[in-house]
Amino acid sequence: MKYVDVDGVGKVSRIGLGTWQFGSTEWGYGDSYASGAARDIVKRALALGVTLFDTAEVYGLGKSERILGEALGDERSAVALASKIFPIAPFPPVIKQRERASARRLQVDRIPLYQIHQPNPVVPDSVIMPGMRSLLDSGDIGAAGVSNYSLARWQKADAALGRPVVSNQVQFSLARPSALEDLVPFAERENRIVIAYSPLAQGLLGGKYGLDNRPGGVRAGNQLFGTENLRRVEPLLQTLRDVATEVGAKPAQVALAWLISLPNVVAIPGASSVEQLEFNVAAADIELSPQARDALTDAARAFRPVSTLDFISEQIREKLGRR
């Protein structure tokens, strides 16, 4: 495993574990998963050197935090545990109350990394960040982070906090590479981290899905799996396959290896089984040549998915055509 040291958080594994699915009915995981597979996944992650475990108060309406805290057991205070507050009425007393509620569900006294889950479109960070600063001053959290912030808003949050906002968790993958343009250079320059969620684009980068094998469930609404986007993404997937053959790995592992080869980037793929977790963690051992990394970066930047409006129009046309 590879690591990066983050002020206030500690040693962060370059591949962590995202736990959105823990307790979330939209992913089809019920109580038996929580008491069985989820616990086994967390235990195996710890054994493999994973230190970054990411959750949020809205994942399963608190269930993810409870499941994760229970599964971590005595290790829960020794890892880089991260959670998020959804910024509804994000005033200092509310932030304090909800951080304490998350800490209780996680069974910890201190949350190493506490993040603002979304930029609030109405309440500015000059109002939000004093609450985070109070948590830092009291020692209830180790560091403050944000999620889904643009670079400009990240910098405003930084100024409002009066100390570094150490992380920004964003959708980032070979299929969604926009963080390359500004967030990654900023993180490298300012010694922050970018946390990549959905690093495999919900399985698209594994090469499993195509025009003749569409995903169902939650993934069915992801525009990346639309007909035109599946056509457009093929050159990127072929580059992934070529590099995977070169390094003796699978395309999804190469997609993760590319992310963590970037400066100050960590990835938090989810895992529905111990085997999937082991598969993801193995990507940390893959060393990409500069040529392979550049080829992947070029292919990622060349991929131009259709707009959301065009995807919706495509879906309507396809549904009408089937009648």
Residue 26 pLDDT greater than 60, yes or no: no
User: What's the confidence (pLDDT) of residue 65?
Assistant: 92
User: What's the confidence (pLDDT) of residue 216?
Assistant: 66
Domain ranges of the chain: 3-204+249-289
Give catalytic residues, as residue numbers: 59
Indicate the average pLDDT of the chain.
Answer: 90
Residue 34 pLDDT greater than 90, yes or no: no
Domain 3-204+249-289: which CATH number of 3.20.20.100, 3.50.7.10, 3.40.50.300, 3.30.390.50? 3.20.20.100
Ordered DSSP codes for 43-102: HHHHHTT--EEE--TTGGGGHHHHHHHHHHGGGTTTSEEEEEE--SS--HHHHHHHHHHH
Q: pLDDT for 140-192, tens place per residue? A: 999 999 999 999 999 999 999 999 999 999 999 999 999 999 999 999 999 99
Which among 110, 101, 58 has a CA at the least distance from the CA of 80? 110
Assigned token pair, 183: 């967030």
C-alpha to C-alpha distance for 249 and 243, rounded to whole angstroms: 8
**Cα 105 to the center of its chain, rounded Å:** 21
Residue 35 pLDDT greater than 80, yes or no: no
Q: pLDDT for 67-105, tens place per residue? A: 999 999 999 888 999 999 999 989 999 999 999 999 999
C-alpha to C-alpha distance for 13 and 262, rounded to whole angstroms: 14
Q: Which pLDDT band, with edges at 50, 70 and 90, does 305 fall under?
A: confident
Q: pLDDT for 261-291, tens place per residue? A: 999 999 999 888 899 999 999 999 999 999 9
Q: Given 3-state DSSP classes, what are the helix, strand and coil percentages for the chain, each rounded to the nearest 5?
A: 55, 15, 30
Residue 218 pLDDT greater than 70, yes or no: no
